[in-house]
Amino acid sequence: MSTGVFCLVCSASCLSSRNSIQIFNKEGTTGRIEHFASLLSKILNKEIKEDPEQTQVLCKKCYKLVDELDELQNRVIEIKNEIIDNYKCSVEKTEIEDETDIQETKEIIEGKSLESNKENEVPKKIL
């Protein structure tokens, strides 16, 4: 069996530490809230544990792919939240406009009703 270091994802040889990233190394996660191994677990639908029997490195190429996927997923969440917020604002605005329209319609109807009542009144001279 070979004693070389291989990428967990693509099995590429990772002889140099410059060309590989330790997935359980906290310094390897650039400003990320979530641990890199946890990201991989979600992507692969497989629990990634710190196991000396299993390779614990990613080549630069796979690291960049995982990092890009994480950034894109975060961007999708931001866009989705913006759409939801815009929709909520629109619904609130529409409800306010609808309430205003209903009130104006009531006032118009009441105004016409008063006018028609005045038109139908018998003049006081006749009584």
Annotated binding-site positions for Zn(2+): 7, 10, 59, 62
Residues 6+ apart with CB under 8 A from 12: 6, 59, 61, 62
Residue 101: both structure tokens together = 């329209």
Long-range contacts, 62-66 (Cβ 8 Å, 24+): 62/7, 62/8, 62/9, 62/10, 62/12, 63/21, 65/9, 66/9, 66/36, 66/39, 66/40
